[in-house]
Amino acid sequence: MSHALLAHICVEQKFRGQLSIQAPAGGKGVMDASKSVETTENSPPVEPAVAVSDGQLPAFAKELKRTRRRRGYAALAALLAVVIAVPVGVHLSGERSPKPSPRAGDDRARKRPVDAPEAIRQARQTGKDVQVTAQHTANSTTWARPDGLLRTRTYSATIRAKVGDEWKPIDTTLQRVEGGYAPKAVNDPLLFSAGSAGGPAKRASRATLRSSLAQTSAGASEEGTWSELVRLNSDGHELVVSWPGPLPQPVVDGSRALYENVRPGIDLLLTARDSGYSHILILHTREAASDPLLSELNYRLSSPDLKFRLDADSDVVSAIDSNGEEVASAPTPYAWDSAGEIRATIGEPAPSPAPDVSDTAIGLPGLAGPQPGSHDSVLNASLDGNNTLGLAVNKKLLTEPEMVYPVFIDPSFTGHKKNWTLLYAKYPSSSFYNGLNFNDGTNDARVGYESDSGGLSRSVFTFEFDSKLHGANVKSATFRALQTYSWGCAARQYNLHLTSAISSASTWNNQPSWGSAINSATTGYGYKATTCPDNWVALDIKPEAQQAATSKWTAITLGLRAANESSAEYWKKFLANGESSPSIEVVYNRAPNEPTGSLMKTFPGGTCDYTSPYISIGKSDITFTASASDADGNLKYLHLKVWRTGYASTPLHDADHATNSTGAMTAFTMPWASFTHGVTYSWSVYSKDAEGATSAWGPPYTTAICQFTVDHTAPSTPEVESASFPPSGDDSDVWSTVTFGTAGQFTFKPNGTATEVKEYQYSFNTAFDKKALPDPAKGGDAVVTLKPPHAGPSVLYVRSADSSGNISGVRKYQFNVKPDPDPDAAGDVTGDGVPDVYTIDPTGNLALYAKTLGTDRLHFSMPAAYTTADGPAKAVADGYWSGALITHNGDWLPGDGIQDLVARIDGEIYVYPGDGYGGFDVNERRKVLLPTGAPAASSLSQILSVGDVTGDGRPDMLATAGSALWAFTGYTGVSFQTATQLSGDDWTLRDLVYVGQVAGDAAADLVYRTDTTGRVFLRKGKIHSSGTGTNLFSFAVQTASADGIDFIYGSSGWHVADIPIVIGSPDVTGDSIPDVWALRSDGNAVIYLGSSTVALSTTNMFNIINSSVGTTWTGYTAIG
């Protein structure tokens, strides 16, 4: 089996042999399938290249096919062409997995990334390693293990690319985009020209690059014409390579684009790579080799923010950013011919005995790079002030009689800063950074001496060492590589060294410094499939990984070299691409973080105080709390120590405390008697994980310790006075001098020594949630202006607190608030007389949209629900209102004149008292009990608060349950006295819209929608026979109504699919007729103007929510 699927473009010319343009074989051509690459979990399958049919090829191209390459040693037909190769990119990132796991599907990409704590939880639960997908990088994968440790594998090559917000397998398959061809998934955007000779091309999508390739017109002269060939974006920097002439439209197959006859007898081949590409010129004849273009082969380099620099010793071109950092490079250029004998891998010595494999490789050997016996030459490069890269093609090489065509030339660009390099003694001044310059990128890391070509190789790999590993305790660390060739199965030693950093300028003559060997192996893998097949090698590097973690290295560089560099028996090769590339795997544990300073608290006392004078704590039990985090997710304890300052060796408390899933320790309380009045105490906390690793003592970023002083003397209970809200009196018959909704002053008095009081704490009817400071100029009094929250009997609770937190007794100040003589209008919760509306959004939150009189749109909303359960008011949690039914129209707590909200939530009916400002304290909700015989609250499908329809002075409610319509009347403040089923019609496919005076008479009317016909109907009500209120049975069936028939109030277009929600409202436009709110399926909302004479119409409506101006109610679940 070959190491990767090989794409061939085979071109059979009229007078020449078959020409095969072939991706490089990764290592030896035969591999034992039982030793396939260790794939990462859920690794995707390799996607096949896109086939090109014969009919799509140009006239001279007879065949375009793909094949597999196998190891063999048969003679090759001589080829009469010359190839010049110019790679501009990085190594092939192929997957080496014959049995990849199936792709998990589209849903996987939409899942929330799994962080370390969650992955550890899953690993412990399943007993299997779990990927920490939130820590994915382009070249590393991290797993959580069941034992709570993390395992990170970092490759010398990239294994995935981020497309948008999603990590995807690297896919260099070219696809047509605006302006050219781009690979599907690579780390750096890339765009190939669509050709310039056929006319101007469109600009490329901005999602691919900032701009498209500029094109020359079809009639442009070849002389002095530059066509942008490739545009590469590396690490956010743009780089453009231009060709000196027009370009034809390419033939595209998989990751390759072939531009034919860019000059007579010369083709140009581009191959997309991850973060770059390769570029090959193919000269088919000696006549083509005499083209004047080759006298000085020029490429123009351009970039808006990069500078280009040529290293004279190695002919390496570097692209440098403003910080002097290299972001791309072009290694030493080469030229070679096709005279060499093809081998399974370049420079591979013929083993003995030869493997029993037949030769099926038919193609152009030159594309696989210089073979043993080929004629080759290093090319000199130049770079002028206009950033023109010139290649001096060796004319002598091209005209030698021994030259066998094709011949290749290959300067190349790579966008990777950190990867690997080959050090090749045969070309001591040449750079092979990222494997380039061996054809269009070798996948083989070579070690040792091979006798056929006389080449001695060493290979060096850079592995990023992520900051998450800094300071970690390394449990194990391993260097892993897939060995694909050896001279024989016999043991021959090679060594692993720690080296200094490498770069694009690294050559045999400019090697990194080599430290002593840190490990070695003698494996003979890769010689023969039946005896010593390809296999992984693993070498321990724990000391070096620990040094990197302790010293906070950003990268670790490791080199392989043969123990004997003069004997071919030590010659070996290792695969260097994708998930088959060398990697380092580190198993580690990181100490937890220091406790969070702002969460180290005492109650009372507050946040840790480590500066003098320290906080003072009164005569109360003291509770200690703290919280910390652990990037590994295995935080187990917070260790609390409390001691009398100066006596740390005899602490009052010194113990571990378990933490919860958020990292907070279980609150620990010490009785007040444990502390002595007037004494200062210290306390501190450190974190401890399941491995026993500990943090420094908290608080962080300081060596100081939390301290507090104890004061056990409490202030007196305060007095309260108010002229606007006098005490209610013994008989509770004294009322306020102002009505509800009007603020008045309250005065708090110390009732003792004023200096003892630091603050007054107070609240209405609930826990203490407000504070007032005493005024020394007023003898320690505090004057506050307050607005009681509701009418009727009220209680103001007040107490004093001193600077130590000692609390006085509570003063309970009782008074009565006179009701507002003008209660809020029906549906109005903001006090302006215009009905407002509540909605439940897709996140399950309740919002108020305040409506003004007229046809204005709704421009903003405000949260409508809060809670004071834990003290000061705060928003309720997301999702609180999910699935709730809501309605508001009436004062359900008589006396305060404020409209209230009714909701079916948690399977029950509740009244949420309004606060007069459009909001509701969910902590104040009151359960509504239903009478015997009523349907269960949980079975109701719609509820509608209708105000006082029956005339008894109490709010009524209609509801649907299954196919029945129910009326609930006689509300007592706790329960309904009567539940009446209004039998007759089937309400399964009906919606209650509104109950109120629509027709203009004294009786209330019923407006409803039926999904069966997609219409809205008006059913006129009757006055009750008592002369008071509306007879609810007139709503039961149309024959019982005032006119004995239902009127069509909305003729068409009212199906639920078109208008998911429709609800009526008291008048919002000023004509005294109720109106109808409708939420459309497109997320827009409108108000239909009600009428007592004509039906609802789209000609008589206005938008209140319109997506065209940036607002939408898409996904809203309720309006009420």
Q: What is the pLDDT confidence band of residue 283, given thresholds at 50, 70 and 90?
A: confident
Mean pLDDT of all residues in 177-198: 89
Q: Would you call 221 helix, strand, or coil by DSSP?
A: coil
What's the rounded Cα separation, in Å, for the pair 698 and 639?
10
The radius of gyration of the chain's CA atoms, rounded to the nearest angstrom, is 41
| Cβ-contact 750, 780 below 8 angstroms | yes
CA distance 434 to 834: 72
Cα–Cα distance, 553 to 50 (Å, whole number): 42
Domain ranges in the chain with CATH number 2.60.120.230: 420-589
pLDDT of the residue at 778: 77
Cα–Cα distance measured from residue 630 to residue 593, given in angstroms and rounded to the nearest whole number = 6
Phi, psi of 935 (to 5 degrees): -65, 155
Q: Quick check: 211 pLDDT over 60?
A: no
Q: Which of 148, 199, 157, 203 is nearest to 180 (CA)?
A: 203
Task: Name the burial class of residue 1004, with classes exposed (0-12), middle (13-18) and buried (19+) by CB atoms within 10 angstroms of its CB.
Answer: buried
Give the integer Cα–Cα distance in Å for 176 and 161: 19
**Calpha distance 535→34 (Å, rounded):** 9
How many residues in total does the chain contain?
A: 1120
| pTM, 2 dp | 0.55
Q: What is the pLDDT of residues 553-581, one digit of tens each?
A: 999 999 999 999 999 999 999 998 888 99
Is residue 565 classed exposed, middle or buried when 0-12, 13-18 and 19+ CB atoms within 10 A define those classes?
A: middle
For residue 598, report the phi and psi dihedrals to the nearest 5 degrees.
-70, -15
Question: What pLDDT, on the 0 to 100 scale, is given for residue 951?
Answer: 92
| Cα distances (Å, whole numbers) of residue 957 to 889, 924, 980 | 9, 21, 11
Q: Which tens digits make up the pLDDT trace of 319-363?
A: 999 998 888 887 777 777 777 664 443 334 443 333 333 322 223
d(CA 548, CA 155): 16
d(CA 30, CA 39): 19
pLDDT tens sequence across 985-1037: 899 999 999 999 998 899 999 999 999 999 999 999 999 999 899 999 999 99
- Parallel/antiparallel/unpaired status of strands 1030-1031 and 1005-1010: unpaired
3-class secondary-structure state, position 942 = strand
DSSP 1053: -
* C-beta separation of 775 from 685 below 8 A: no
pLDDT digits (tens, 9 = 90+) for 97-152: 333 333 334 444 457 899 998 999 999 999 999 999 999 999 999 999 999 999 99
Tokens at 228, concatenated = 């942008």
Q: How far apart are CA 947 and CA 938, in angstroms?
A: 22
Closest CA to 299 of 268, 271, 260, 322: 268
Maximum CA extent, the chain: 125
Among 260, 253, 346, 252, CA closest to 66: 253
For the chain, residues classed under CATH 2.60.40.10 are 719-817
pLDDT at 521: 96
Report, as an integer, the average pLDDT of 529-551: 96
Q: Phi-psi region for residue 13, left (φ > 0), alpha (ψ -120 to 50) or beta? A: beta
- Nearest-angstrom CA–CA distance, 800 and 803: 10
Flag the least confident range among 665-679, 835-849, 892-906: 892-906
Any idea what DSSP says for residue 83?
A: E
Band (pLDDT 50/70/90 cuts) for residue 829 is confident
Around Cβ 113, how many Cβ atoms within 10 Å?
Answer: 14
Nearest to 812 by CA among 794, 827, 791: 794
CATH number among 2.60.120.230, 3.40.47.10, 1.10.10.10, 3.30.413.10, domain 420-589: 2.60.120.230
Residue range 231-235: mean pLDDT, rounded: 90
Using DSSP's 3-state secondary structure scheme, residue 1040 falls into: helix
Q: Are strands 1022-1023 and 1015-1019 parallel, antiparallel or unpaired?
A: unpaired
Looking at residues 703-714, what average pLDDT do you find?
91
Domain 719-817 is of which CATH architecture? Sandwich (2.60)
Cβ–Cβ < 8 Å for 220, 246 = yes
In this structure, are residues 501 and 543 in contact, taking their beta carbons and an 8 Å threshold? no
Distance CA 326, CA 329 (A): 7
pLDDT digits (tens, 9 = 90+) for 869-884: 877 788 899 999 999 9
CA 395 from centroid of its chain's CA atoms = 55
Report CA 248 to chain centroid distance, whole Å. 41
Phi first, then psi, for residue 116 (nearest 5°) are -60, -50
CA distance 362 to 20: 7
Provide the pLDDT for residue 371. Answer: 62
Model pLDDT, residue 1032: 94
Long-range contacts of 982-989 (CB under 8 A, 24+ apart): 982/1032, 982/1033, 982/1035, 982/1036, 983/1036, 984/1036, 984/1037, 984/1040, 985/1036, 985/1037, 987/960, 987/962, 987/963, 988/962, 988/963
> Is the torsion defined by CA of 354, 355, 357, 360 positive or negative?
negative
Written as one string, the DSSP assignment of 492-558 is: --EEEEEE----TT--STTPPPEEEEEEEE---TTSBTTTB-SEEEEEE-HHHHHHHHHHT-SEEEE
DSSP string, 824-840: PPTT--SSSSS--EEEE
CA atoms within 13 A on the CB side of 183: 34
- 8 and 66 in contact (C-beta within 8 Å)? yes
Average of pLDDT values for 284-306? 89
Please name the CATH architecture into which domain 597-691 falls: Sandwich (2.60)
For residue 1061, give the nearest of 904, 908, 914, 886 by alpha carbon. Answer: 886
Q: Provide the pLDDT for residue 273.
A: 86
Q: Write down the residue that tokens 């049919």 correspond to.
A: 53
For the record, the structure tokens of 927 come out as 């359960």
